[in-house]
Every structure is written in C-alpha cells, then in structure tokens.
Amino acid sequence: MIRHLHQELTNGKTTSVRLTETYFEAIEKRDPDIGAYLTLMKEEALRASHEVDERIRRGENVDLMAGIPGALKDNLCVKGLRTTAASKILDNYVAPYDATVVKDLRDVGAVFLGKTNMDEFAFGSSTESSAYHPTRNPHDLSRVPGGSSGGSAAAVAGDLAVWALGSDTGGSIRQPASFCGIVGLKPTYGRVSRHGLLAMASSLDQIGPLTKSVQDAAIVLSRIAGEDPMDATTAESGGKRFENFLTGDIVGKRIGIPKEYFTETLDKRVYALAQAAINRFESLGAHIVPLSFSFLEAALPIYYILMPAEVSSNLARLDGIRFGLSVDNEEPSSVDSSALFETYLDSREYGFGSEAKRRIMLGTYALSAGYADKFYLKAQKVRASSAPI
C-alpha cells in the first residue's frame, strides 16, 4: 500500500494534502465508535503533507514514506505535544523532544495524523485499561482490538491510518495485530532506538510497525532501524532496506517449529491455521525443522518477575514532584516530610490506574530487601542461562 500510494503521489494522481484530509475525514466519521486516537495532529499533518507536495512539484526525489499518513502510539514523545501513555498521571505532560523514531520518520517526510490509544503505560492486552476510553475492534465493535498497542492496530485495520508505530514488551504489537487481522512486527532488541519511548520494562521494550502488509512493515522498519547515540543498546543496521529482501523466494529456507507451541491448550482453530501456514511454506520449498525449547517453560515466570520489577523502577520517577501530575495546589517544602509523603501518596493514588498499581506493587515486592535475591536475581540468572545461543 505504501509503495502504491508513493507512486500515486509522484505521478500526480493525488496529493499528500488530499490523502491526509481523506484520513482525517475517516477519523471524524468512524473514530467516535472505534476510539483509536487520543490526540489528533491535524495542523502539523497538513503542514507536513503540503511540504511534501511542494517537493514533488519541484521535481525532487522523495522517500517512499514521504507524505504517507500514519499514527504514533501515545507512549512515543513528540516535541510540543501531549504524551500521556494513556495515564492520568501524565495527563498534562508535554514532551520536550522527539523520540528518535519520530525524528527518523519526520526526516523522510512521513505525516503524523495523531497519537493512538493504549493500555495505560502498556499494561494490558485489550486496550481497556486506558485512563481515557477503551478502543474497539474495527471489524466488530463488540470485540477488543488487543493491546497494549490496540489504538495503533485499530487505526490501521479501520483505515484510519496507512501505518502506525506501537511498542512491544510481551506481545503488545503482535497480539493486537493478530486480533485486528494486520501485520505487526516486534524487531530484534536493539534494532530500533528506544530513546523517547516512555519505558515500561527497559530490557524488553521495543518499538515496531503495524501495517496491512509485510512489505509495508519492512518499509517502515527500514526508516526507524539503526544505531542511535541516545540509546546504547542499539546496533547499526548498515543502511539496509528490508523491503528489498522480500523476493518471495523461500526455496531452501529453514523454518523452525517449536513443539512447545503446539500443546493441548492451543485453540483448535488456531492450530488449523498454523498448520495450514506450515504446509504452505513447505509446498513453496522451505524446509520445516522441528525444534524443542525446554527453557520456554520458565519464560512466563521469569517475565512476570522481571517486567514488574522494571516497571516499579521506571515509574518511581512519577511522584507528583519531579514528574507527573501533582494533586496538591502547592508544592510541599522539602523540609516538610509528612506533606511530601502525602503528595506522593495522593498523586500516585489518583494518577495511576488499578493495573499500574498492581504491577508497581508486584515489582516493588520482588525488589524488596530479603526478596531481591530470591526472586529478581534468580530470574535474571535463569534468563541468562536459558537464552538460546
């Protein structure tokens, strides 16, 4: 779709302004029922699309993403724009800088329609824990779109954006993409900079695309991948254009199928679809390789110790004094310890939703004196020893 729209723009069949206005009209008509967006960026979007149209009129070569309207999950910082992570505690937070992925896409001329809804701080899998409103599946409004990137998935699936960015810690891109019938990719950790992403669990978080096709996902990934001096965990991508690898030829490719994924608890309909895909790959010349990952049994317990622990640490800064909403009219004196403590309690009680509080408490417990070695340190050791080489 992105490549087709790029051709439409460059051969004069449409303009980025017209395309952008069409998506805003669709948002105005359909999003009150879907609830994919939290904040719209209409003025900036039209200005950016006009600039792309002017470049095309001057005969400049523009990037595939130039002038193509998309959406950003509301845990990605956009300079001068409210960034809430769907939490009341950040209700009035205005980001002072662009996330690296936002800057990268802005540099190639991509158009941002707005910020999408999500589970609060990405704590959830249905986009029902947003502090503002739930998001509904555009294919069936009685169903959820998945989460936590449900707003981004619903925007793409509901034709309210061509592409969107989400974040994924334990499935928050892949699961809503599945629920909404689109493509979602969690890149390898370090492939995409996390700078400007409001952190959930820093050793697990990644930013990735949600699109309607594999090719579109590759195009978006190519524009946001690469080393970033603002994120020491990133690796150089060598300027690869991942879409150029999509030749369609998989003859001789090896596809591993872990047996632990095909248990009795797997829904029969899901099993049938997965098996049909495996058979299709085999018919196209791929080699299907059975695998066994014994460490998968420990994956979920490890995740539910490390993730809340990192959540507790990351959200400690949102105390109503340094960052986040303060429910008190006057900032308490640093000498008045009781008033300061009350501000902490009141701000976090009002600002955080129930799921955020639950995860903070679990993480704090796992890191507390007498339990850090028993839970957190042990989970880190098992994680390191069971990681595939």
Active site residues: 73, 148, 172
Residues 6+ apart with CB under 8 A from 26: 158, 159, 160
Rounded CA separation 344/363 (Å) = 18
Rounded CA separation 207/300 (Å) = 21
State the sign of the Cα–Cα–Cα–Cα dihedral 198, 202, 204, 208. positive
In the chain, the amino acid numbered 254 is: R
Q: Are 95 and 33 in contact (CB under 8 A)?
A: no
- For residue 198, give the 3-state DSSP assignment: coil
* Residue 387 DSSP class: S
In the chain, the amino acid numbered 359 is: R
DSSP string over 102-139: HHHHHHTT-EEEEEE--SGGG--SSS---SS----BTT
* Residue 142 DSSP class: T
Q: Which residues pair with 82 in a beta bridge?
A: 94
Q: Are 144 and 126 in contact (CB under 8 A)?
A: yes
Taking the alpha carbons at both ends of the chain, their separation in whole angstroms is 37
Structure tokens at 285: 């010349």
- For residue 195, give the 3-state DSSP assignment: coil
Structure tokens at 346: 């009141």
Q: Are 135 and 34 in contact (CB under 8 A)?
A: yes
Count CB-CB contacts under 10 A for residue 387: 8
* Residue 187 DSSP class: P
